[in-house]
Amino acid sequence: MTSYFGAPPVTVAAWMAGAVGVILLILLVLVAFNRVLLKMALRNIPRRRAQTVLILFGLMLATLIITASLAGYLVGHLVTGSAMSASGLLVLFLMTGLGLVGFADDFIKLYMQRSLGLRSGAKLAGQAIVGAIFAVLAIRFPDGWDITPASTHLSFYADFGISIGPVLFVVWVILMVAGTSNGVNLTDGLDGLATGAAILVLAAYMIIGIWQLRNDCTVFLAQACYAVRDPQDLAIVAATVMGACTGFLWWNAPPAKIFMGDTGSLALGGVLAGLAVCTKTQLLLVILGGLFVIIIMSVIIQVGSYKLTGRRVFKMAPLQHHFELLGWAETTIVVRFWLICGLFIAAGLGIFYVAWLPV
């Protein structure tokens, strides 16, 4: 039996619920264990060793969104017996690769006690290498209809214009990956803000993937169909990561018990960029992820204004900290920014749907 959207009705819902349940259980155990470990460390072992153990444990907590997402995706495929897709695996590769870049940054900050972590050039180089590998692989692996996970065209709600060629496409994807991952990273300044916003954008991509499956050009040709490889698996990837983020948010909501660090924020940015490339909605991501765009632009405006005029436009950048200094409560800022993110997503999905309607 299939749903109206053409996907098995239990697939997305069960995988998402499973991911939520698994991560909630894991985090419940780990947070409880963390408290016990803290007490034991402070009482029974030298202070220096205790700090090392707790730092390593904190780094392990930062990887939970990635590990839960990978586990949910793998278990779901094993349980249902369905084959993993090239598109889904590539998006998860991008997520994991950027997560490793973020992990290196967190490790240097925490374990090596260097406050700046990776130097900006090294971090950008890591993002560029991972993004380039993803881009090169994404225009390979054609399916039976000769559709690859990505094409060398720019896209909004679908591909448009002429091909920009593989070299420019790789450069474009690197820019997308760097911009999106850094946007999520800069948003991760208040408890729950980046996680909640990412959940909303991932929900949008789950809907887009299911809609593209329902209107797949390989099933029937129509004026408004989508030549996207593996749309159902892309929806499942979005749902699985969304489930992991939902479980993470349970503990990351203010006052946060755990933090994602650069490991989680760069990984989430990678997922969003990968989904945009593989669903062929690259420029639509600017609208769906409008909150991230606003926050990264606030930093660009602040830095540019200070260098050019010596004056600051905001009290502090990124933008959420400007409102903190205005006296807004942290929870007020988080909830209102979530609402802004929701409005951007409503606009993006509305444009996506209207573009599908027959002329």
Of residues 285, 315, 297, 313, the one with CA closest to residue 182: 297
Q: Which two tokens stand for residue 280?
A: 């062929």
* H helical segments located in 139-260: 165-187, 193-214, 231-252
Q: What phi and psi values does residue 192 have, to the nearest 5 degrees?
A: 85, -10
Which residue is associated with the tokens 């990561």?
Answer: 241
Structure confidence at residue 45 (pLDDT): 57
- The residues of the chain scoring below 50 in pLDDT are 1-7, 9-10, 14
- Three-class SS state of 87: helix
The reported pLDDT for the residue numbered 131 is 97
CA angle 140, 143, 144 (to 5 degrees): 145
DSSP 255-302: SPSS--HHHHHHHHHHHHHHHHHHTT-TTHHHHHTHHHHHHHHHHHHH
Q: Is the separation of the CB atoms in 67 and 243 below 8 Å?
A: no
What stretches of the chain adopt beta strand conformation (E)? Answer: 154-155, 159-160
Supply the pLDDT for residue 79: 74
Residue 357 β-bridge partners: none
CA–CA separation, 334 and 314 (whole Å): 18
pTM: 0.89
Tell me what pLDDT residue 336 has.
Answer: 97
Q: Return d(Cα 194, Cα 80) in angstroms, integer.
A: 32
- Quick one: angle between helices 193-214 and 165-187, nearest 10? 140
Cis ω before 318 (30° cut-off from 0)? yes
Sign of CA dihedral 352, 354, 357, 358: negative
Q: CA torsion sign, 198 to 203 to 204 to 206?
A: positive
pLDDT at residue number 34: 61
Q: Which residues contact 10 (CB under 8 A, 6 or more apart)?
A: none
Length of the chain: 359
Rounded CA separation 280/110 (Å): 38
Phi, psi values for residue 216, rounded to 5°: -80, 125
Give the Cα-Cα-Cα angle 260, 264, 268 (nearest 5 degrees). Answer: 135
User: How far is C-alpha 244 from the chain's CA centre?
Assistant: 11
Q: What angle do CA 228, 168, 128 make, to 5 degrees?
A: 90
The residues near 301 (Cβ < 8 Å, ≥ 6 apart) are: 313, 314, 317
